[in-house]
Amino acid sequence: MGLVKLFGPLRGWLADDKPEEPGRGARISALLAELEARERALEEALLHERRAAKRRRLHQALEVVRLQQRKGIARREALGVDRE
C-alpha cells in the first residue's frame, strides 16, 4: 500500500489553511434570531404567570436563552461575521 493511498483521505483533516465554511455565519445569525424570538415568548409568559414555581422555571429558562445569545454573539464576532 502506498503512502498516497494511506494519507489521501486525511488531507482534508490536515490542511489548516482552508477557509471557514461560508454558511457558518448565516447559521449563527439564524440561531440568534430564533433565540431572540424565544426570549420574547418567555418574557411574555413570565409577565402573565402567577405561580411562583412556574415563574422560577420561566426565569431560569430565560437566563439560559440570554446566556446562549451572549455565547452566540461572541462566536459570531470571533468568526468575524457581520450582522445579517
**What pTM value is reported for the model?**
0.67
Per-residue pLDDT tens digits for 17-64: 555 556 777 889 899 999 999 999 999 999 999 999 999 999 999 999
Number of helices followed by number of strands (H, E) in the chain: 4, 0
The domain spans of the chain are 21-79
Per-residue pLDDT tens digits for 3-13: 777 777 766 66
Helix 52-79 vs helix 24-48: crossing angle, to nearest 10? 160
